[in-house]
Amino acid sequence: MAKKVTSKTKTQPVVAPIKKSEEADATVEKRLVALYKLQKIDSQIDKIRIVRGELPLEVQDLEDEVVGLQTRIEKYKTETKSWDQKINERKELIKDSMALIKKYETQQKNVRNNREYESLEKEVEFQNLEIQLCEKKIKEATFNRDKCTNEIERIEAILEDKKKDLEVKKSELDEIVSETEEKEKVLVQESLENEKLIEERYLKAYHKIRKNSRNGLAVVEVDRDACGGCFNKIPHQRQMDIRMHKKIIVCEYCGRILVDQTIVAEVEEQ
């Protein structure tokens, strides 16, 4: 009779597996912390740039105006030279015509018949007409040259005022920049370093929300049961989901990423 074989397989101790959900929760929490920290840094940069206000744009506009006025002045100066050249050319033509008239009048004294005299007379008349035409052209050119000169003087006066305004605005901007430049550099570097901790898809979403938000807020805390961005009430169940840190939750009204006081406190401690 065959002996009954008793199984002596040892019972393995039950080890609680590392719950993937817990790992996922921890990862989501880290993402939320990184996103909220990034928001805090970027908000500080925004405040620094708001302090500068519209000054950079005003300076840029004034610089563009100055360049534009200088270009116009150069254009009028070129036109002035062109009119001066035309005036001088006409004056030379008048000299030539007067020389010819003198020559024809001298020849008239030595003519042998009336036909030669009349022919020379016509040449004299033609040259006199040429002189009249040149004088008319000189008058027109002088008027246009003077007009250009007046415009140059007028624009130069405006340019001088704009340069003074630009100098004042630049001085104001330089003063503000010197006060905040170092701090801004540090914050920008911190922002870039913090971005490296965030996955690209979340970073893209963050920047997209920030771009579409008037105040630059993409990540906001839940304050007094309301979204810290649009101030709409958040249902209690949704608030519980936000506190669980199981997934990234956005405001159903404004699309901003929502964080609870735990995340805020963790970032404040850092």
Please report whether residue 82 resides in a domain. yes
**pLDDT at 24 (0 to 100):** 52
Closest CA to 28 of 248, 202, 201, 221: 248
Q: Which two tokens stand for residue 95?
A: 């000299």
Total count of residues recorded for the chain: 270
- Dist CA 89 CA 163 (whole Å): 38
| Region for residue 83 given its phi and psi (left: phi exceeds 0; alpha: psi -120 to 50; beta: otherwise) | alpha
Mean pLDDT of the region 235-255: 91
If asked whether residues 57 and 30 sit together in one domain, one would say no
Taking only the tens place, the pLDDT of each residue in 249-258 is 999 999 999 9
Assign residue 41 the CATH number of its domain. Answer: 1.10.287.1490
What is the residue range of 47's domain?
Answer: 21-51+199-270
Query: Phi and psi at residue 95, in whole multiples of 5°?
Result: -60, -45
Please report whether residue 11 resides in a domain. no
If asked whether residues 95 and 159 sit together in one domain, one would say yes
If asked whether residues 264 and 236 sit together in one domain, one would say yes
Please report whether residue 188 resides in a domain. no
Taking only the tens place, the pLDDT of each residue in 55-87 is 888 999 999 999 999 999 999 999 999 999 999
Assign residue 119 the CATH number of its domain. Answer: 1.10.287
Whose tokens are 């052209």? That residue is 137
**268: three-class secondary structure by DSSP:** helix
If asked whether residues 101 and 114 sit together in one domain, one would say yes
pLDDT over threshold 80, residue 8: no
Please report whether residue 96 resides in a domain. yes
Distances, alpha carbon 148 to alpha carbons 68, 73, 76, 136, 151, in Å: 16, 9, 6, 19, 5
Closest CA to 31 of 226, 258, 253: 258
Please report whether residue 148 resides in a domain. yes
Please report whether residue 29 resides in a domain. yes
- Dist CA 81 CA 74 (whole Å): 11
Please report whether residue 164 resides in a domain. yes
**pLDDT at 144 (0 to 100):** 96
pLDDT over threshold 70, residue 192: yes
Helices marked H in the chain = 20-52, 55-108, 114-195, 200-212, 236-244, 261-269
Q: How many domains, in total, are found in the chain?
A: 2
Asked if 267 and 221 count as a contact pair (C-beta separation under 8 A), the reply is no
Please report whether residue 7 resides in a domain. no
Taking only the tens place, the pLDDT of each residue in 17-43 is 434 444 455 588 988 999 999 999 999
How big is the CA angle at 52 (ends 50 and 54), to the nearest 5 degrees? 85
